[in-house]
Chains A and B, each alone.
Chain A
């Protein structure tokens, strides 16, 4: 009987391969991967931190994480950045449900309410916070109060990030829009705004202003909400179960936006987020409407720019769309571990102490010891729009609402479609009503 051919896979080869495979399993057992595979839990000196900061924000947050590492060499900080919006919150919620959450996570204030309603966040007790010097009076009043749920604390606000106006100082100077000190003269009213954009378009030869529209539902919503709130309008009531859109006011805002993009060509109606930034940075437009976080991007691009509040276009009480970033502690199986709680709160405090770096990234700090100090006043253009924090209009509370939520996607898609000329204002309002009423009539899953 002949044996197996020379090059066949023999029993000996099989045993050798198995031993090698088992050997390689021993290698990752020291790391987090091995910890996950073997379910041994995080080691005592490690801290997992999730955030959703990319772009300019991401650069600042990395600097702050490095600052924490330098001050705490004994702690292994594992920071993870995930894609902004629904993907981040889906992963955070599922990780918490699966008992493998990060120690500390970033959450928008408007989304934090839904997470807390789903019992996914640890309640923060005042006595624990006091141990780390975080008391209610040391935070921006509006941001702090907006984050309380029945008087209980679930999140620590680190900033308010409003929708702002970037302006190219050189182009605005040529267009005659600057005052004697080189700052943009306040623009009040629709006609003044259209006039400013027309002058800028004449100087640049392309556009007056830009903002993201394609594949970007957040920016059109933020612009709409700013103008709509200036008219005094609201969208949802009763925790999102009732839709209270004022058709006339919504129509007024949408028609105004359509006029700017489609009819007068003062803003491009079809440009994505990065494209809008690129057009402003390269001088193809004089204004850029975006969140203040893109300040780092334009500083790196060395565009001659400054920032200010979005103009009060419709003239009512000043309002501007904003949200706040907060730090939350997800519910975890080893919640009673006091050492881990202190480690996490220590990290939160460290982020607050580095508010200068964060404010340099454009945000209005919520930590008052820094916000009221001279150093913040000296930060320009960041301190030019600090008033926005007190005029901030947050997204209406609902289980399907918040930054990057389905609510923003529904609103932003419709507004974006109007701006790109693909949909009329009536059709957009009808689409908004029908899609929101589906969400409003659904029983909340939290």
Chain B
């Protein structure tokens, strides 16, 4: 019995609508009015809930706005910015955020790559390894914080008991100003490794198999293969992971707020937590808006740096 395979019908797209007159150059808005109408709901919400409040925040930063009174309050000019730039607490919070970024970004990139390489090589139960590394990422921050608070509890926590059982002195995980940020970084690496891990897995699967075969024929060992083939071909993924990781680390808030409340002695207060403390707890929204705008400029600088760096790779940017 002969089977017939129907060739797939190719449906040609309808011709682009043309106004009378000459053909135009490539239109960035596509099909004109219908495209704008489709985008309108998103644009309206975007302007109302993101652009609008951001602009209001910048306006508010020039006034002594209070959370508990209506209106903008008295005009303060650049006083709020001056106070933020000369405030020891503001710069300390910036430094804590930077330190946290330095502590978490390299492990989150290197470890994610290592685990992705290992998971890729697993022959059996590959699904289990992928699940195991990704699962912590879907937990909400409060759950992660609670688990790790218990693990870090002095004298009673799991980590402490392990350390003392092995014969080491227990560090004061969350109570020592020098250790607290490291403990928070460990928690964060455990939690968010999964996201970079998945990005790297996807990147690894894009690398053609025959490159490895060809190099093996030429006598390359596994370590050389990783260095010469895998890492260079992962460079786009790596640059994406690096910039996403840096920006995400700069925005850290949950772990500090729940696990140490910015302590001990303000040693782990990140910049967003500082903005929260002065804006919501102290009711000084004008000053908080100024601090937050300065932080926005910092994050923007980082993102711009990335765009400049990857401009060569992405010609359409």
Contact = CB atoms under 8 A, between A and B. Distances in A.
A414 B263 CA distance: 11
B154 interface: yes
Interface of B: 9, 11, 64, 66-69, 87-89, 153-156, 172, 174-177, 260-261, 263-266, 277, 280-284
Contacts of A446: 66, 68-69, 283
A209 interface: no
Interface stretch (A87-95, A132-140, A194-202, A237-245): A87-95
Given A90-B280, A214-B154, A215-B260, A438 B174 contact: no
A272 B175 contact: yes
A272 B283 contact: no
Contacts of B67: 93-94, 97, 445
Contact of A272 (B68, B154, B266, B280): B154
Contacts of A438: 87-89
Contact of B177 (A86, A120, A422): A422
Contacts of A344: none
Contacts of A93: 67-68, 283
A270 interface: yes
A383 interface: no
A94 B264 CA distance: 26
A434 B69 CA distance: 28
Given A93-B67, A215-B260, A416-B264, A270 B282 contact: no
B87 A271 contact: no
- For A120, A215, A445, the residue with the greatest tally of chain B CB atoms inside 10 Å of its CB is A445
Interface string A204-237: 0000000001110100000000000000000000
Contacts of B281: 86, 89-90, 406
Contacts of B156: 275, 278
A119 B68 contact: yes
A400 interface: yes
B270 to A, nearest CB: 16
Prevailing SS type, chain B contact patch: loop
Given A1-B11, A414-B265, 17 more contacts: A1-B9, A86-B277, A86-B281, A90-B281, A94-B67, A94-B280, A119-B68, A120-B68, A213-B175, A215-B175, A270-B154, A274-B153, A275-B153, A413-B265, A445-B64, A445-B284, A446-B283
A214 B283 contact: no
B88 A413 contact: no
A442 B176 CA distance: 30
Given A413-B263, A438-B87, A438-B89, A118 B9 contact: no
A16 B266 CA distance: 53
Contacts of B88: 434, 438
A2 interface: yes
A20 interface: no
Contacts of A445: 64, 66-68, 282-284
Contact of B172 (A214, A217, A400, A443): A214
A440 interface: no
A417 interface: yes
A194 B217 CA distance: 80
Interface string A383-419: 0000000000000000010000010010001101100
B174 A214 contact: yes
A213 B176 CA distance: 11
Closest 5 CB pairs of A and B: A214-B175, A118-B68, A445-B66, A413-B265, A445-B283
A272 B282 CA distance: 26
Contacts of B69: 118-119, 446
